[in-house]
Structure 1
Amino acid sequence: MAKPNDFGTLIDLTKTTQALISHFQSSLAPSTTAPAPPQGESSSASPVDVPNPLDAIRATTTLLRSHTTTLSLLLLTPPLTPSAIIKKIGDVSSGALSGMVAVAASAPQPGQRDELGTWMRAEVRARVRRVLVAWGDVLVLVRLFAERREVLQKNKHATSKGKDEGPTEDEKQDVLAATGVVWEASDALLQLCADGVVGLVVKKAEEWRATLMDAVEELKEWGEDVEDDNEDNSGEDDDGFADEDDLFGAENKLGKDDTELKALLDTSVKKLKKIGMLYQALIKRRLKTFPTSATATPTGTSNESSPNPIPTLDQLMTLLKAIPDTVDELASTFYDLDDEEVRQTLDKCCGEAKSAVGLVKQSWGGKDDEFTAWSGKWVDAFDAA
């Protein structure tokens, strides 16, 4: 039988652990500005290899998932045993969670080789925060269980009633649901570890390309919706809103006599389609071939002397993300019928695409390859479009 003060101790522990989780979440909060990628290691010393952080994240996440499963069984099996739950929460806080957060919040020190980079580190932190939120919800349930059982215990001492008959059906469902959320968040973090840096950057690049191509289709459709001053809108199907549609739609329609803007639209669509082709080539020839710690260093180089490719990857991903954003700006300038802004924004977009090509023209090992030759032809075709 639990001691009278055991439930009070458990309640206090849930409160202090919730405060700890809030502190953990703050330490993993995204910065207001994206962290700058590391600027290469000192030439006077070789970078120091450290264990891959994803291995530590994988181990602590697996342990947390196991502890959560055990904790859910303790909550579902009467009578509620505060001492066992207190020990389990302590194991999670001082072990799995603290270890997970320490790795996620860390950054490579001077002289250490960065194995994650800006994009992967941000994603790891985001998914660890989800795990923390999910586990915080479990703590809320533990506290509720402890508070209710504490009342039952007091009633038993006062009236010889109040036997703990176990959780109600609603409580069982709450425990199972909260446990399931922790499992889902943990599985997402484990999947990220399994996919690694390559899996993440490929997925993001594919998403950005899809966004880019959607914008291209929207621009094409907008260009086909040409304003016709002679169009007769007096048809029988008038629903009473025709005048309003004309009033609000005419301002951003492409006039059929606006040949200059139409030519800019045609050029933009052609160039953006070629940028879409570039994404495909970069995904296949550069992102999927990125050397990770689990793979060998580029052929013909030694691990000690080879430069760390992570900073270049970070820069490439920054450009690949920026291009769809610039295309959104380009669409807005078209809708505003602003020829000059269209030219400037298109030039900006083209510059970002060319920068991406130039950044990884050679392989990660610094050698010419098939992509090197293809990229030269792509630039020529892109300029001619």
Structure 2
Amino acid sequence: MAKPNDLRALIELSKTTQTLLPHYQSSLAPSAANATSSEPQAFSTDLPNPLDVVKACTTLLKSHTTTLSLLLITPPLTPSALITKIGDVSSGVLSGMVAAAASTPRSGQRDELGSLMRGELRAQVRRVIGTWGEVLSLVLRFAERRQSLQGNGSAKGKTKDEGPTESEKQDVLAATGMVWEACDALLKLCGDGVAGLVVKKAEEWRSVLLDALEELKEWGEDVEDSDDEAKGSDAEDGGFGDEDDIFGAANKIGKGDKELKALLDTSVNKLKKMGMLYQALSKRRLKTFPGTSPGATAPTAANGETGGGHPDPMTKLDGLMVSLRAIPESVDDLASAFYDLDEEEARQTLDRCCGEAKSAIALVKQSWAGKDDEFTAWSSKWVDALDAA
């Protein structure tokens, strides 16, 4: 039988820990990250890579959560064992995980993560904390129910713990499964590393780009088809066609608008080449991004350069990913300009999109080591082809 003092201690610890979790999450929120990014933290250069710390903590969290779930569904409820596990998680595992994810490189220290990975890592750690909070809520619910049963049962001479109901067991298993799912995603992120994440993001952005490209192509083809059909149907319907044709006519290119149609064709050709660029960058640059040893220090990292006067690889990678993200966003604006039949806006947006693509390729024209290679020669040909399209 659980001792009343142990139950009270478990309830108090669960409530105290619940108030701690939002503080952990807020320290990893984007607003908090932006506010502290300009103030480098002073931590020792011999600390391990944050991904290694998060990976170790996440593995422990899965183990502790499994033990917690077993303690909850197996009668009798043992407050002392639950207290120990909650303490292990809150003061050890979660605090270590949050500290690693929230860390930023100090001046003169090489950035192990980069902006993209740091943001993704913090987001996934916040998710893990949120799912573990659900398990903690179940601990509190079980402890308070047991305390209530103990008080009512003492008056009737019944204090036996018959354990959780089937529904409660399913709640525990579901909450545990959510923690495991979040932990597995975080472990994969850590295992794939920076290179794995940037390749995945580039593929996602390329898909967005290609989707927009297909929509533009279909829109252009629909213009031609609808013009041909309109000639044969006007006499039959007295000038009143299909409702979609009538109310959609305002954003269709007329056959006489040759300049806008030519610009659309040019845009489609240029966007096709940008799709090829994502593939080449993924294979020749993103997948070959060099790993950095924990605690490594760049001689002149404060100004974003390595000792040889070349930009630090992580600085170049951050800039590259900004451009690769911006391209599909610009393509969305380009499509909107075409749908509005705004030729000038479409032309300016296409120029901006091409500029982002050229900036991206210029950043990594040379290898991460600052040397010419096959991609260097290919990139020059690609820029010429883009300009000629």
TM-score by length of 1: 0.90
1:172 aligns with 2:169: yes
Aligned counterpart, 2:355: 351
User: 1:225-240 maps to which residues of 2 (within 5 A)?
Assistant: 225-226=222-223, 227-228=226-227, 229-232=230-233
- The count of residues paired between Structure 1 and Structure 2 equals 366
Q: Is structure 2 residue 135 aligned with structure 1 residue 130?
A: no
Cα separation, partners in 2 of 1:186 and 1:354, compared to 1, 3 Å:
same
Is the Cα–Cα contact under 8 Å of residues 254 and 262 in structure 1 kept in the other structure? Answer: yes
Partner deviation per Cα, 1:311-330 (whole Å, 9 max, x = no partner): 11000001000000000000
CA distance, structure 2, for counterparts of residue 334 and residue 32 of structure 1: 39
Q: In the TM superposition, what is the alpha-carbon distance from 1:231 to its structure 2 partner?
A: 4.6
Give the equivalent residue in structure 1 for 2:302.
none
Residue 6 (structure 1) shift: 2.2
Instruction: Tell me if structure 1 keeps the 8 A contact 2:37–2:104.
Output: no
Which runs of structure 2 are paired with 1:211-226 in the superposition (5 Å)?
211-226=208-223
Q: Would you say the 8 A contact 2:367–2:373 is kept in 1?
A: yes
Q: 1 CA distance for matches of 2:93 and 2:234?
A: 68
Q: Which residue of 2 aligns with 1:301?
A: none
Question: 1:48–1:111: 8 Å Cα contact kept in structure 2?
Answer: no
Partner SS, residue 262 of structure 1: helix
More helix by share: 2
Supply the distance in 2 between the matched residues of 1:36 and 1:324 (Cα, whole angstroms). Answer: 29
What is the distance in 2 between the residues matched to 1:73 and 1:373?
A: 60
Q: Flag the 1:232–1:18 CA change in 2: closer, same or farther, 3 A.
A: same
Residue 323 of structure 1: aligned partner? 327
In the alignment, which residue of structure 1 is the partner of 2:277?
Answer: 278
Q: Which amino acid aligns with 2:9?
A: T
The 5-angstrom pairing of residues 159-308 of structure 1 reads 159-226=156-223, 227-228=226-227, 229-232=230-233, 243-293=242-292, 305=307, 308=312
Segments of 5+ residues of structure 2 without an aligned counterpart are: 39-43, 297-305
- Cα deviation for residue 16 of structure 1 reads 1.1
In 2, the alpha carbon distance for the partners of 1:327 and 1:152 equals 63
User: Would you say the 8 A contact 1:253–1:335 is kept in 2?
Assistant: yes
The question of whether the paired residues in 2 share the 8 Å contact of 1:35 and 1:118 is answered with no
Q: Deviations over 1:315-351 (max 9, x none)?
A: 0001000000000000000000011101100100010
- Matching of residue 5 in structure 1 with residue 2 in structure 2: no
The answer to whether the 8 A contact 2:199-2:282 is kept is yes
State the superposition RMSD in angstroms: 2.3
Q: Work out whether 1:103 is the aligned partner of 2:104.
A: no
CA contact (8 A) 2:62 2:183 kept: yes
Q: Kindly tell me: are residues 48 and 6 of structure 1, through their superposed partners in 2, closer, same or farther at Cα, counting changes over 3 Å? A: closer
Q: Does the 8 A contact of 2:260 with 2:343 survive in 1? A: yes
- In structure 2, the CA distance between the partners of 1:355 and 1:214, relative to structure 1 (3 Å rule), is same
Letter in 1 for 2:249: A
- Residue deviations 1:178-226 (CA, integer Å, cap 9, x gap): 0111011111100111100000000000110111011111000000111
For the 8 Å contact 1:128–1:189, the answer to whether it is kept is yes
Letter in 1 for 2:62: R
Conserved 8 A contact 2:33-2:102: no
What is residue 57 of structure 2 aligned with on the other side?
A: 60
Q: State the alpha-carbon separation in 1 of the partners of residues 333 and 36 from structure 2.
A: 24
Which residue does the alignment assign to 1:27?
27
Identity among equivalent positions (%) equals 70
Deviations 1:144-184 (A, max 9, x none): 10111111111222111142111110011011110111011
Give structure 1 stretches of 5+ with no counterpart.
Answer: 39-46, 298-303
Q: C-alpha distance in 2, partners of 1:33/1:189?
A: 19
- Among 363, 367, 372, the alignment partner of 1:363 is 367
Question: 2 CA distance for matches of 1:32 and 1:74?
Answer: 36
CA distance in 2, matches of 1:33, 1:165: 47
Q: Matches of 1:314 and 1:71 in 2, distance apart?
A: 40
Aligned equivalent of 1:16: 16
2:113 aligned residue = 116
Structure 1 equivalent of residue 385 of structure 2? 381
Query: Given residue 275 of structure 2, which amino acid in structure 1 is its aligned partner?
Result: G
Measured in 1, the distance between the counterparts of 2:307 and 2:51 equals 24
